[in-house]
């Protein structure tokens, strides 16, 4: 698949400022951030004389759309008639000054006609716009509206639509793909974000973004459009991938998958998808171009039911975090990449630690050069994996695996540990949930309060899959570092509660170095960060999305830059 760059996509931002000076300053900012075009909402600007507008338009440093909304919240003395005549005055001036685009409300266009504008203009393109709020936009409703807008003789048509669900954006994509005149669409609100990010796939020549790196509902920041999504590479053949979640704004997925697509030359885009009803989502976005999905909170369990087929491991876990639409028959197939990601991260850290210890011992005995031994041990490890022996010889086999948390991540870890032959002991705030999971993996559930004092043996594995310690509660840890035991009324003994763990893993990855990991390292445990799990599960997803591409070093490097 080809990722040709198109040079005709315009990235626009809307400027609503009270003064001419602010408009000019914002225009400069827009230019710095990479906007190709600014939409000047001149109804937001206070001016006592039209000459101020003339100065602004003459001084513009970027191509512009000039608009003047009649229903703007800004009050003008003189009421509706005054607003209307000022609107026409501003728009006529914009045409005389040869501003690139002049936008007229459909209401005004139908009332006064746009023939004068069309006759007077030299290069300006006339946009006729409509704003729809309330009611779900059907294809028929939008089709009729566009026909009405087209009948005015407009060069460009613009539709701004309030959407309630992400599925409401689908009719807008249909319009983009089939409209006979250039069309600008914008779905307003958080659930409308994909209208901009996927617009170019359906033929949009213009997308809107927000200034200053912050996303306003429904608008991606311009810097993300330019640096993360690089929408100029998106075309009709681009495969769509995304994170189905609610909330979805925190996701680092786009920062990872989009650069990885470009790095491998795969024509794909990965976008956040704020989904309320996952079944309805798959009913509406059923085309083969919607090719793969990450699934996040709270849809991982419901996703199992949406798939036509589910990988046996994901089925036993009862949670799907990756769905691909199989290209051969369009069926949805579900997987769970969290399980292998977390368990292999733990196994590899144990093996590496064991190799280091063995190498140190060998060096001390001065038997042989450590590098040679290390490479021999690596060879042995690779041979074991290639022969499928890994699961039998997992370094966690037979160990006590203490798991904190029984949610989605907890379930993945519990099944993974059980499959590797560990003895799983589960602590969860909600004890019933812990018991249900323990039963499913033939493990044991113990009350959450006993976690600090639990010490079945030395050299246990501790895995935190609860949200404890996650931003913003970075000062929390599920297990205390030091435990004060009262031996008598006057005597207490301090014990290192973390001291009985050989390895401590934390699924939490924001922050990267949690309090649990810091304290575990202080008592000498091997520590594994949730970032490692994040890289591995994302890599697993990327392989499934692209049928095998695995730019591991690139993705690892990209993740480490972001966290
Ligand atoms: N590194 C990665 O790639 C990766 C992947 C997935 C998840 N994670 C992380 O893993 C953690 C859990 O995610 P999840 O998907 O499993 O979420 P989830 O399904 O919502 O489960 C949340 C778990 O955290 C427990 N919990 C929440 N607040 C708690 C508190 N104040 N005290 C004690 N326990 C608390 C819950 O216990 P109750 O059952 O009692 O509510 C439950 O066990 C999150 O921090 C998430 O970011 C990381």
- Residue boundaries of the structural domains of the chain: 7-219, 341-361+395-528
Q: Do domains 7-219 and 341-361+395-528 have the same CATH topology?
A: no
pLDDT beyond 70 at 461: yes
Helix (H, G, I), strand (E, B) or coil at 484: strand
Looking at ligand 1, which residue's alpha carbon is closest to its atom 25?
466
Residue written as token pair 């800004």: 74
Q: Which two tokens stand for residue 44?
A: 């937001």
Which atom belonging to ligand 1 lies closest to the Cα atom of 433?
A: 39
Check if 253 has its Cβ closer than 6 Å to any atom of ligand 1. Answer: no
Cα–Cα distance measured from residue 315 to residue 335, given in angstroms and rounded to the nearest whole number: 8
Distance 90 CA to ligand 1 centre (A): 55
Handedness of CA 539, 542, 548, 551 (dihedral sign): negative
Check if 256 has its Cβ closer than 6 Å to any atom of ligand 1. Answer: no
Which atom belonging to ligand 1 lies closest to the Cα atom of 410?
A: 16
Check if 165 has its Cβ closer than 6 Å to any atom of ligand 1. Answer: no
Identify the pLDDT of residue 134. 78
- Residue 38 DSSP class: E
Residues 6+ apart with CB under 8 A from 109: 128, 149, 152, 154
Identify the pLDDT of residue 366. 64
Cα 142 to Cα 109, 139, 259: the distances in Å are 18, 5, 35
Looking at ligand 1, which residue's alpha carbon is closest to its atom 2?
534
pTM for the model = 0.89
CATH assignment of 341-361+395-528? Answer: 3.40.50.720
> What's the rounded mean pLDDT across residues 187-205?
97
pLDDT tens digits, residue range 116-141? 999 999 999 999 999 998 778 899 99
Residue written as token pair 């495969």: 239
Distance 467 CA to ligand 1 centre (A): 4
Residue written as token pair 């560990």: 422
pLDDT beyond 50 at 388: no
352-389 burial code (b ≥16 CB/10 A, e <16): beebeeebeebeeeeeeebeebbeebeeebeeeeeeee
pLDDT beyond 50 at 390: no
DSSP string covering 151-189: TTT-SEEEEEEE-SSGGGGHHHHHHHHH-SS-EEEEEES
Q: How confident is the model at residue 389 (pLDDT cuts 50, 70, 90)?
A: very low
A 10 A CB-CB count for 148 gives 15
Nearest to 499, CA basis, from 546, 452, 465? 452
Strand ranges in 93-224 using DSSP code E only, listed in sequence order: 101-105, 125-132, 156-162, 183-188, 206-209
Check if 197 has its Cβ closer than 6 Å to any atom of ligand 1. Answer: no
Q: End-to-end CA distance of the chain, in Å?
A: 31
pLDDT tens digits, residue range 416-443? 999 999 999 999 999 999 999 999 999 9
Which of the listed residues 407, 433, 452, 471 should we mutate to test ligand 1's pocket, taking the one with most ligand atoms within 8 A of CB? 407
Looking at ligand 1, which residue's alpha carbon is closest to its atom 28?
467
Check if 430 has its Cβ closer than 6 Å to any atom of ligand 1. Answer: yes
> What's the rounded mean pLDDT across residues 211-229?
90
Distance 508 CA to ligand 1 centre (A): 8
> What's the rounded mean pLDDT across residues 460-480?
96
Identify the pLDDT of residue 135. 76
Checking DSSP bridges between strand 156-162 and strand 125-132, what pairing results, if any?
A: parallel
pLDDT tens digits, residue range 294-324? 999 899 999 999 999 999 999 999 999 999 9
Residues 6+ apart with CB under 8 A from 21: none
Angular region, 371: left φ>0, alpha ψ -120 to 50, beta rest? alpha
Which of the listed residues 507, 508, 540 should we mutate to test ligand 1's pocket, taking the one with most ligand atoms within 8 A of CB? 507
pLDDT beyond 70 at 340: yes
| Backbone angles phi and psi of 156, in degrees to 5 | -135, 145
pLDDT tens digits, residue range 164-188? 999 999 999 999 999 999 999 999 9
Cα–Cα distance measured from residue 33 to residue 219, given in angstroms and rounded to the nearest whole number: 15
Which atom belonging to ligand 1 lies closest to the Cα atom of 405?
A: 43
Which atom belonging to ligand 1 lies closest to the Cα atom of 530?
A: 1
A 10 A CB-CB count for 486 gives 9
Check if 338 has its Cβ closer than 6 Å to any atom of ligand 1. Answer: yes
Check if 520 has its Cβ closer than 6 Å to any atom of ligand 1. Answer: no
Identify the pLDDT of residue 1. 47
pLDDT beyond 80 at 507: yes
Distance 321 CA to ligand 1 centre (A): 14
Which atom belonging to ligand 1 lies closest to the Cα atom of 404?
A: 43
> What's the rounded mean pLDDT across residues 132-161?
94
Distance 282 CA to ligand 1 centre (A): 26
Check if 508 has its Cβ closer than 6 Å to any atom of ligand 1. Answer: yes
Least confident of 72-81, 239-248, 514-523: 72-81
Assigned superfamily of 7-219:
Aldolase class I (3.20.20.70)
Check if 509 has its Cβ closer than 6 Å to any atom of ligand 1. Answer: yes
């Amino acid at each position: 698949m080809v990722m040709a760059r198109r040079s005709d996509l315009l990235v626009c931002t809307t400027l609503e400022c009270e003064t001419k000076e602010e408009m000019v300053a914002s225009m400069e900012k827009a230019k710095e951030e990479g906007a190709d075009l600014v939409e000047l909402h001149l109804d937001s600007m206070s001016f006592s004389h039209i000459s101020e507008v003339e100065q602004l338009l003459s001084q513009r440093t970027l191509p512009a759309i000039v608009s003047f909304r009649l229903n703007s919240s800004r009050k003008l003395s003189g009421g509706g008639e005054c607003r209307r005549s000022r609107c026409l005055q501003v728009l006529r001036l914009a045409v005389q000054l040869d501003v690139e685009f002049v936008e007229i409300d459909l209401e005004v266009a139908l009332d006064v006609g746009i023939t004068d504008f069309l006759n007077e203009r030299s290069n300006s393109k006339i946009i006729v716009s409509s704003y729809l709020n309330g009611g779900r936009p059907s294809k028929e409703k939008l089709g009729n509206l566009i026909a009405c807008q087209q009948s005015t003789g407009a060069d460009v048509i613009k539709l701004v639509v309030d959407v309630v669900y992400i599925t409401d954006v689908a009719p807008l994509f249909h319009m983009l793909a089939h409209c006979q005149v250039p069309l600008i669409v914008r779905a307003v609100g958080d659930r409308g974000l994909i209208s901009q990010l996927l617009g170019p796939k359906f033929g949009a020549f213009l997308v809107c973004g927000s200034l200053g790196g912050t996303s306003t509902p429904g608008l991606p920041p311009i810097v993300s459009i330019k640096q993360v999504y690089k929408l100029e590479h998106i075309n009709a053949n681009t495969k769509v991938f995304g994170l189905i979640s609610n909330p979805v704004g925190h996701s680092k997925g786009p920062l990872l998958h989009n650069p990885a697509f470009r790095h491998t030359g795969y024509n794909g885009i990965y976008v956040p998808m704020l989904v309320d009803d996952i079944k309805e989502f798959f009913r509406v976005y059923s085309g083969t171009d919607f090719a793969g999905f990450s699934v996040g909170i709270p849809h991982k369990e419901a996703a199992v039911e949406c798939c036509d087929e589910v990988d046996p491991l994901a089925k036993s876990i009862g949670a799907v975090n990756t769905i691909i639409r199989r290209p051969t028959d369009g069926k949805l197939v579900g997987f769970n990449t969290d399980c292998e990601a977390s368990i292999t991260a733990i196994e590899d850290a144990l093996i590496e630690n064991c190799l280091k210890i063995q190498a140190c011992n060998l060096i001390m005995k001065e038997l042989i050069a450590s590098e040679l031994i290390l490479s021999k041990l690596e060879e042995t490890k690779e041979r074991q994996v290639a022969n499928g022996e890994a699961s039998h010889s997992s370094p966690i086999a037979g160990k006590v695996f203490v798991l904190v948390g029984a949610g989605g991540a907890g379930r993945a870890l519990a099944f993974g540990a059980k499959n590797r032959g560990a003895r799983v002991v589960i602590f969860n705030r909600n004890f019933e949930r812990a018991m249900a999971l323990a039963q499913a993996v033939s493990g044991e559930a113990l009350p959450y309060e006993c976690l600090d004092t639990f010490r079945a043996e030395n050299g246990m594995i501790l895995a935190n899959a609860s949200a404890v310690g996650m931003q913003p509660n970075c000062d929390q840890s599920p297990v205390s570092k030091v435990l004060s035991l009262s031996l008598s009324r006057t005597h207490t003994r301090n014990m290192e509660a973390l001291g009985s763990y050989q390895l401590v893993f934390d699924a939490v990855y924001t922050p990267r170095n949690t309090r649990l990991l810091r304290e575990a390292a202080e008592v000498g445990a091997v520590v594994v960060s949730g970032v490692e799990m994040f890289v591995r599960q994302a890599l697993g997803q990327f392989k499934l999305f692209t049928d095998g591409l695995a730019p591991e070093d690139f993705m690892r490097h990209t993740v480490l830059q972001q966290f």
